Amino acid sequence: MYSIYNLLCSLAIALTFVIMFMIQRKLTPLKYYSTLQFIKGENVTFLMVIIRIFMLLILGFSSYTIFSDVKIVLLGAIVGSILIVWPVVLNPRESFEVYITKKEVLLSIILHLLFVVSAVSIVYTSIIFYDLIFNFALNQLINVFNNYFVIILFAVFGFPSTNKFKDMLNRKVYERSDRELEKLEESQYGYGKNEVL
C-alpha cells in the first residue's frame, strides 16, 4: 500500500510530468507533438519522437534518483500521463474541428491510452537501466577527479598566474598523451618509443 507520503511524492512526479510537457510546448512548439497529430495525419518527425522519449527517460531517471522507489515513480508516471490525455479521452469530439465518427472516436481513445502505456514503459525502462547509467556516470566522474585532482585544486583555490595554470594543464595532457601513445606502440609494434631497436 501507498502511504500519504508516497502518494504526495507520486503526485509531485505527475505534476512534473505535466509541467515538463507544458514547458516543451511553450519553448519549442516546433518540436512538440500530441497524439492528436497522428490521428489528424499531421507531420510528426522522428526527431520529435526521440526528444519525447529522451524527456521521459530523464523524468524516470531523475525521479528514481530522488525517491528510490519504483512504485512511487511508476504511479507518478501513470497519473501524469493520464492527466495529459484525460480531456481528450473524456470528450474526444471537442478536440476535432470537424465531426468524427464513432470509429474515429474509438481510435482516438485507443491511441491516447497507448500514449499512457508507452510513457509509463519508457519511464520504467529508465529505472531498469538506472544502475548501469548511474555507475557509468559515477565512474567517469571518479576518473576525471583522479586524473585531474591537482589541477582542480589549483583551479578552485586560485593560481598566481593563468599562464602557469595553462602550462601545467598542457603538461598534464601531454604526459597522458605520451603514455597512451607508448601503450599503443607497444601493442602494435612490440616496443615503446624509449626502447632502442
Q: For residue range 5-15, list pLDDT tens digits in order.
A: 999 999 999 99
Q: Of the candidates 130, 162, 179, which is a domain's last residue?
A: 130
Range of the domain at 96: 4-130
- 11 and 74 housed in the same domain: yes
State pLDDT tens for residues 13-65: 999 999 998 998 888 877 777 776 666 677 778 888 898 899 999 999 999 99
Quote the crossing angle between the two packed helices 149-157 and 130-147, to the nearest 10°: 70
Let me know if residue 109 belongs to a domain: yes
Let me know if residue 20 belongs to a domain: yes
Let me know if residue 196 belongs to a domain: no
Q: What is the value of pTM for the model shown?
A: 0.64
- 117 and 182 housed in the same domain: no
Let me know if residue 161 belongs to a domain: yes
- 174 and 97 housed in the same domain: no
Place of cell 474526444: 92
Residues 97-104: what's their mean pLDDT?
73
- 159 and 70 housed in the same domain: no
In the chain, the amino acid numbered 19 is I
Q: How does residue 197 score in pLDDT terms, banded at 50, 70 and 90?
A: very low
Let me know if residue 70 belongs to a domain: yes
Let me know if residue 116 belongs to a domain: yes
- 14 and 62 housed in the same domain: yes
**Looking at per-residue confidence, does 72 or 93 come out higher?**
72
Q: How many separate domains does the chain show?
A: 2
Q: Nearest CA to 119 among 30, 37, 54? A: 54
CA dihedral over 152, 154, 156, 157, signed as positive or negative = positive
- 95 and 26 housed in the same domain: yes
